[in-house]
Amino acid sequence: KAGVTQTPRYLIKTRGQQVTLSCSPISGHRSVSWYQQTPGQGLQFLFEYFSETQRNKGNFPGRFSGRQFSNSRSEMNVSTLELGDSALYLCASSTGEAKNIQYFGAGTRLSVL
Amino acid sequence: AQSVTQLGSHVSVSEGALVLLRCNYSSSVPPYLFWYVQYPNQGLQLLLKYTTGATLVKGINGFEAEFKKSETSFHLTKPSAHMSDAAEYFCAVSTGRRALTFGSGTRLQVQP
């Protein structure tokens, strides 16, 4: 069974640009969550999508948005990039219950110059 | 609200020695608890989880953790460290809202 796939693995952008990251969950998983990992703030929850609906949201500004498609694949978009958005963005998939394991992808490392 | 505290951002042990990584949580409802490991330039891999039932949980690679409700702890242990255990370890808690709240992580160094 294929794992969680995130593309691209690395991205370099400049301030003010926007970026879209992609995540393909494990087959059969309907929940996709996104996390931001930085040395200063650690791992922080961005949002969760389940069956194409945002079900849960963390404390991030509106520049961070996402969506989920009917095949459960998800995209995350960051508009008007800031230097502080440089981070490892991790996607996790699960069947959707709190007690269930979230399986993580390898992440997309975003560098904002 | 839920939170996780991992005591010790860096832990160093000798190969063959006991590994003990500490995790304390705060949750207003019965929590689900997880330990993940992260190797450089990789995502998170689940080591073990506690949901309900037996409080001593065994995971992969010889790791285990014990849920102690009275101490609000979920410490991770391994009897004998191996060089390949060197990585960063994260404790996480989840409640009904499904999002994982992570601790700040503990970097484990294993000395030969």
Q: Is the pLDDT of residue B33 over 90?
A: yes
pLDDT in tens, B70-95: 999 999 999 999 999 999 999 999 87
- Examine the pLDDT at B68 and tell me if it is beyond 80: yes
Q: How near does any CA of chain A get to the CA of B99, in Å?
A: 7
Picking from B9, B36, B44 by the largest number of A CB atoms within 10 A of its own CB, the best residue to mutate is B44
E-strand stretches of chain A = 5-7, 10-13, 19-24, 31-38, 42-50, 53-57, 64-68, 74-78, 87-94, 103-104, 108-112
> Chain B: residue nearest A98 by CA?
B98
Q: What residues in A contact B51, CB-CB < 8 Å?
A: 99
- Report d(CA A94, CA A74) in Å as an integer: 13
Query: At residue A25, does pLDDT exceed 90?
Result: yes
Among candidate residues A58, A70, A65, the one with its CA nearest the CA of residue A21: A65
Least confident window among A30-39, A55-64, B28-37? B28-37
Asked if A98 lies within 8 A of B98 by C-beta distance, the reply is yes
A–B: how many Cβ contacts below 8 A? 58
Set of chain B residues whose Cβ sits within 8 Å of the Cβ of A36? none
Residue of A nearest to B95 (CA): A98
pLDDT, average across residues B50-73: 92
Residue of B nearest to A57 (CA): B99
The pLDDT of residue A108? 97
pLDDT number for residue B57: 95
For the stretch A37-85, pLDDT in tens is 999 999 999 999 999 999 989 999 999 999 999 999 999 999 999 999 9
Nearest CA among B111, B63, B70 for reference residue B90: B63
A43 → chain B, closest CA residue: B102
Residue B97's pLDDT band, with cuts at 50, 70 and 90, is low
- Using the Cβ of B106 and the Cβ atoms of chain A, whether some distance falls under 8 Å is answered with no
Amino acid B54: pLDDT: 85
Residues of chain A with Cβ-Cβ distance to B90 below 8 Å are 43
Is residue A16 predicted with pLDDT exceeding 90?
yes
Confidence at B96, pLDDT banded by 50, 70, 90: low
Token code pair at residue B5: 């505290």
Question: Does residue A1 surpass a pLDDT of 70?
Answer: no
Please, which pLDDT band fits residue A113 given cuts at 50, 70 and 90? very high
